[in-house]
Chain A
Amino acid sequence: MHDNGHTEHHHEESFISKYIFSLDHKTIGKQFLIYGLIMFFLGGGLALLFRWKLAYPEKPLPIIGVSQQYMDDGEVVTGADRMWERIYESEKEEWIEVNMPAGVMTDAFYNMLFTMHATIMVFFVVVPILVGAFGNFLIPLMIGTRDMAFPVLNMLSFWLAVLAAVLMTVGFFVPGGHAAAGWTGYAPLSADPQWTGVGWGQNLWAISLLIQGFSSLVGSINYITTVINMRAPGMTFFRMPLVIWSLFIVAILLLLAFPVLSSALALLIFDRLAGTTFFTATAEGGGDPLLWQHLFWFFGHPEVYILILPGMGIASELIPVFSRKPIFGYRSMVYAMIAIAFLGWIVWGHHMFQSGMRDDLGSIFMTTTILIAVPSAIKTFNWLGTMFRGSIRFTTPMLHGIAFVSMFVIGGLSGIYMANTPVDIYIHDTYFIVAHIHYVVFGGSLFAIFGGIIFWFPKMYGRYMNDVLSKIHFWLTFIAFNCTFFPMHILGVGGHRRRISNPMAEAVEIITQEQSFEDMNIFITMSAFTLGFAQLILVFNFFWSMYKGKVAEQNPWQVNTLEWEAPTPVPHGNFGQIPTVYRGPYEYSVPGEESDWIPQAQPEHAPATSGD
């Protein structure tokens, strides 16, 4: 961050070119990380808001809602009461009055919140952090090159993502409110304002995602070119760390999947703004609402693997390092990721079992979907095999790595239930699905992200993150996460529909055989607030450690891969001299060696053995 004494590749740069419009892949990576963390708080905050509604559908929110006394006899007790009195007295219709009269969320606002929670978490948190932040920071450093192939495009990718995030956030404040058709934007809900009553919110949603698509496109062109063309001497494909493999495969998925969503979004925008009827069935020459689902999920399922594969890659770095053992079955890990990426293209129909699908077609999609369990199981057993009889160091990144594997197993297993068409008839559109997606994307991807942040923080900022705070954050998150999402399986099997704003409403209770979900919903909400609070610890720790953390040495975890060869903090241009790679990335505890780790750049002293 400050003068690093490396004059060879260090140029005096202005603040703007160094921190704002930077071309350096490390700075862009950090920008994406902070961008993702900010959006993480927005997306998480939305979730907490609607969790309150699910637990107490009729009760005003604490702090900003009116007091019970005010509701009963109109007596002003709290500051919030006074605020609401003023709002109701004024002529102007305030934003908060429309969406949360007296602090009780309207159903329409609830719809916007769950739509935007998922949209933000998928497109503006997990992908920017996993692919944008880790991809940018790690790829050049770990393959041993000075920067990305196209630094200007790289900067463009970040600023397009910022533009998309701004447009997406602005949508809350346009007349008619934000998109409310779910993150999947199913037509005709999304295609025609008369169904949701949402005007420009949905348009902004589509435009913002189109821009985010451009950002991903530019980024993935950069990643693919860099990985293919710019590896250091000796860095063969099968000497690349698995996280680089995962990011490379994900870049290909993003490259090929996002344009399909772009075509669907373009058609949706035409439907909304130019009077076409691609996604609306009309009496004469109309389109097909199911077409949206096909296009969306043809993108959407590869997207699911875009969300998890880099997490798998990060776990594959953490586990061997802290087990002090080579990764079990390196090549099978690579082939399993390729298999997952390939199968991801031919399973999209499993999102549409209940949309009216021919039975035989359904069983084809069922088969291909269940097939994904095979490469996923290979990966899981390989992680376990790596830890088996290792000298495990239970550092905080390792805890996150282990959490990733165990939560991914739960999420993966519930996925197999849903893949079966007969079972899916019952659990489709229930909280079982919500539990599944959160076990994979929060339990999977986010634990990997947390582990990755703590692991690479010393390389990013030259300091450790505070370990006590990190451990508190981990345990709070792990426990609160399971308390939040595990009961959702039970809710789902009990018949609790997802996307319902008031699960205690009479009509809902009749459908679900009078079973009350109230207690469980309150428990989930309390856990969710704990989970949200725990993340504040992470963010405090992140920014505090950036300036006050313990100074880290160059390679604090004793890791083999190339990023730890670079000096800390990493100068512009990364390496003094480009390192030469002599071995695979996971040579830990090699028998007969003095040290239990052999860096990739350490020359052979014995006769050369096989490349990997």
Chain B
Amino acid sequence: MTHNNSEVQERQPLSNARLGILVLLGAETMLFSGLIGTFLVFRVGNVTWPPPSHIGIELPRVVTGINTALLLLSGYTMFQAWRAIQKDGVKQLRNWLLITGVLGLLFLGVQGSEWVQLIRKGLTLQSGVYGGIFYVLIGCHAVHVLSAVIWLFIVFGMAMAGRFSANRYTGVDTCMIYWIFVVALWPILYVLVYLS
């Protein structure tokens, strides 16, 4: 844009990009509310959960618990990346971003291998609402992690190209907000779907 809006924008506490991403998170929250609400309707509406036909299929609580820790750790490393660029630590930014991205991929990998095993045991999308809502809800989160990872690697590429500094880090900023959202959402899903 040749003409800029800086004449108005400078006095705002939040930049447009930051505000826009926060607004987006409102919509994301409602999307997950719809799916979590659906899960709760089925969970509360069934006396036995999993339903009798699924007895013998155990969701991998322990592995997923460890996976949860991995994802929470990635939230911490992402935060460190954000802290680093504020102090102009371009190199630390790259390192922390890389660690975060690897942790995110690891989370997806573990979850993928779990899914393969569950499908082998006979829990599929078609096995009633138990399997259905499990794959849709957890899958929806996985898609969000995947898009966050893709976004992160774009930011990582920009960091490699030296596009960020202590005064210019909107890309890191917005990616961090989105990443933290995806990370913070997961423990809720873990407790609801795996532990309840």
A residues touching B (Cβ–Cβ < 8 Å)? Answer: 9, 11, 23, 145-147, 149-151, 217, 220-222, 224-225, 228-233, 255-264, 266-267, 270, 274-278, 282, 284-288, 291, 294-295, 298, 573, 578
Contact = CB atoms under 8 A, between A and B. Distances in A.
B175 to A, nearest CB: 16
A150 B53 CA distance: 51
B158 interface: no
A287 B8 contact: no
Interface string B125-142: 111111011001000100
Nearest to A254: B27
B34 A260 contact: yes
B14 A11 contact: no
B19 interface: yes
B53 A285 contact: yes
B56 interface: no
Contact of A270 (B12, B24, B32, B132): B132
A259 B30 contact: yes
Contact of B125 (A231, A263, A264, A276): A276
B35 A263 contact: yes
Given A229-B12, A262-B31, A285-B129, 17 more contacts: A149-B19, A221-B23, A224-B19, A225-B23, A228-B14, A263-B34, A266-B136, A266-B140, A267-B35, A267-B38, A270-B132, A270-B136, A274-B126, A275-B126, A285-B130, A288-B42, A573-B3
Interface in B1-35: 1-3, 5, 7-9, 12, 14-16, 19-20, 23-24, 26-28, 30-35
Nearest to A264: B34
Contacts of A286: 128-129
B31 to A, nearest CB: 4
B122 interface: no
Contacts of A276: 125-126, 129, 132, 136
Nearest to A23: B1
A578 B3 contact: no
Interface of B: 1-3, 5, 7-9, 12, 14-16, 19-20, 23-24, 26-28, 30-35, 37-38, 41-42, 45, 51, 53-54, 125-130, 132-133, 136, 140
B26 A255 contact: yes
Question: Mostly helix, strand, loop or mixed at chain B's interface?
Answer: helix
Contact of A267 (B26, B45, B136): B136
A145 B34 CA distance: 36
Contacts of A217: 24, 27
Given A262-B31, A270-B132, A288 B8 contact: no
Given A149-B16, A228-B19, A276-B125, A258 B136 contact: no
B128 A274 contact: no
Contacts of A278: 38, 129, 132-133
A131 B15 CA distance: 24
B8 A232 contact: yes
**Best-surrounded residue of B15, B37, B38, B41 (most CB of chain A within 10 A):** B38
A9 B3 contact: yes
A277 B132 contact: yes
Nearest to A226: B16
A308 B151 CA distance: 38
A11 B2 contact: yes
A139 B127 CA distance: 49
B10 to A, nearest CB: 10
Contacts of B128: 277, 282, 284-286
Contacts of A274: 125-126
Contacts of A298: 34
Contact of A295 (B38, B54, B140): B38
A255 B16 contact: no
A225 B125 contact: no
Nearest to B19: A225
14 contacts: A147-B1, A221-B24, A224-B23, A228-B14, A229-B9, A259-B28, A266-B140, A267-B136, A277-B128, A277-B129, A284-B128, A285-B128, A285-B130, A291-B41
B8 A578 contact: yes
Contact of A150 (B12, B16, B127): B16
Contacts of A266: 136, 140
B51 A260 contact: no
Contacts of B9: 229-230
B110 to A, nearest CB: 24
A11 B1 CA distance: 11
Contacts of B7: 578
A232 B37 CA distance: 41
Given A276-B132, A288-B41, A258 B27 contact: yes
Given A230-B8, A267-B136, A285-B127, A256 B45 contact: no
Contacts of B53: 284-285
B136 A145 contact: no
A261 B37 CA distance: 12
Contacts of B33: 259-260, 263
Contacts of A150: 16, 20
Contacts of B32: 263
Given A275-B125, A276-B125, A229 B27 contact: no
Nearest to A233: B8
Top 4 closest A-B pairs, CB basis?
A285-B128, A263-B34, A259-B31, A276-B132
Contacts of A257: 30
Contacts of A231: 8
Nearest to B28: A259
A24 B102 CA distance: 40
A145 B31 contact: no
Contact of A255 (B2, B3, B14, B23): B23
Contacts of B2: 11
Contacts of B8: 145, 229-233, 578
Given A225-B20, A258-B27, A291 B38 contact: yes
Contacts of A288: 41-42, 45
Nearest to B3: A573
A23 B12 CA distance: 24
A294 B42 CA distance: 13
A146 B125 CA distance: 49
B24 to A, nearest CB: 6
Given A278-B129, A287-B42, A295 B27 contact: no
Contacts of B14: 228-229
A287 B39 CA distance: 10
Contact of A149 (B20, B38, B127): B20
A260 B3 CA distance: 37
